[in-house]
Amino acid sequence: MRKKIDRLTNPALLPLIADYFKILGEPLRLKILRSLSDGEKSVNEIVDEVRSSQPNVSKHLGLLITAGFVIRRPEKNLVFYSIADENLWKLCHLQCSGNL
C-alpha cells in the first residue's frame, strides 16, 4: 500500500494538490458547491440558499470557476452555475467518511 501512496504524491504535483484543497478549505465555497449539488442555479438562488451577499457569492463562484469546480452558462440576461465535474463529490464523500 505504501508504494501506491508514494506514486500518487509526486513531489512536483504537491503544490497543485495543495492549491486544489485550499479552494475547498473555505466553508462558503463548500456551501455553494452543496447548493449546486441539486442542479444548475442562478447566483440569486445560490445567495438565498447560502445566506451570503451577492458580491461575496460572486467572488467565490469566480474562484470556483477558475479552479475548474464550477461552470457558468449564460442565458439571455441571467447566468446559471453548475458543478463541472461530479467526481468532486467522490472526493468530498471520501473525506467525510475518513477514507481519504
Tens of pLDDT, residue by residue over 4-33, are 555 666 788 788 888 888 988 899 999 999
Rg of the chain taking only CA atoms, in angstroms: 15
In this predicted model, which residue has the larger pLDDT, 23 or 50? 50
| Residue 80, Cβ density class (10 Å: 0-12 exposed, 13-18 middle, ≥19 buried) | middle
Query: What's this model's pTM, rounded to 2 decimal places?
Result: 0.80
- Amino acid symbol at 9: T
Please, what are the domains in the chain? Answer: 2-97 (1.10.10.10)
